[in-house]
Amino acid sequence: MKIIIVGCGRFGSELAYRLSKLGHELAVIDNTPAAFHNLPPDFLGRAIEGDALSQDVLFRAGIKHADALAAVTNSDVLNAVIARVAQTVFGLKNVVVRNYDPIDRLMFEAFSAQVISSTSWGAQRIEELICQPEIKTVLSAGNGEIEVYELKVPESWTNRTIHDLIQSSECLPVSLTRVGRAVLPSQETRLMEGDILHLSATIGGIQAVRTRLKAVQEA
């Protein structure tokens, strides 16, 4: 793929390097020459110095033939405008935008670009690791609104049903693995110590599961 990255800070340079190592053709735009020092010496893409709102700069980056663009500067307003220009002026459909400040999330809802909030997502991951380390996140959709969690069933839940554990409409069982064999569980499936249970849930849904786990363990 031909990909344009706007913003060559720590985030943008890491993203550009990862994509280039996968074999994609990269062009990185930044208006600060020193920012390109963030790129590793073996980065194979192009560094374009200039204002990403300038059509000339975007042309030099190859936007006419680009397959995707990621706007990942530290300015939410700039990211939003660049995304809008890429979509409406150049007809680029695969546009991803970094949301730097969670306060600005509402601003991005007016755009059809995919929005990733590294601040909100990172804070949510740390919260989960601190509060409930036995439940691990294995897949995150959007900015963590829906996630797939992995739970190793403790001894205190042996012979209890999934219905006993999940009593929220915001949580659904995805799979249960026992002795290396996975099945699609039902509400009446009985749990055994050591089972690996995958759950799809919102934040509220997984919190309800955590509350049920704690209540039984402390009973």
Residue 164's CATH number = 3.30.70.1450
Looking at the structure, tell me whether residues 73 and 29 fall in a common domain.
yes
pTM score of the predicted model: 0.64
* pLDDT value of residue 136: 83
20 with 96, same domain: the answer is: yes
67-86 pLDDT, tens per residue? 999 999 989 889 989 999 99
**Any idea what the CATH number is for the domain that residue 85 is in?**
3.40.50.720
Domain stop point among 119, 145, 175: 119
Confidence of residue 120 (pLDDT cuts 50, 70, 90): confident
**Same domain for 144 and 115:** no
DSSP sequence for the chain: -EEEEE--SHHHHHHHHHHHHTT-EEEEEES-GGGGGGS-TT--SEEEES-TTSHHHHHHHTGGG-SEEEE-SS-HHHHHHHHHHHHHTT----EEEEE-SGGGHHHHTTS-SEEEEHHHHHHHHHHHHHH-TTEEEEEEETTTTEEEEEEEPPGGGTT-BHHHH---TTEEEEEEEETTEEE---TTPBP-TT-EEEEEE-HHHHHHHHHHHHHHHH-
103 and 152 in a single domain? The answer is no
The reply to whether 80 and 147 lie within a common domain is no
Same domain, 106 and 146: no
Looking at the fold, whether 145 and 166 belong to one and the same domain comes out as: yes
pLDDT of 132-187, one tens digit each?
A: 667 888 888 876 789 999 998 989 999 999 999 998 999 999 999 998 899 999 99
State whether 111 and 178 are in the same domain: no
pLDDT value, residue 110: 67
**Domain co-membership, 181 together with 101:** no
- The band of 126, judged by pLDDT with boundaries at 50, 70 and 90, is confident
Report pLDDT digits (tens) over 86-103: 999 999 989 999 888 777
Domain that includes residue 26, residue range: 2-119
- Looking at the structure, tell me whether residues 11 and 109 fall in a common domain: yes
For the chain, give the mean pLDDT: 88
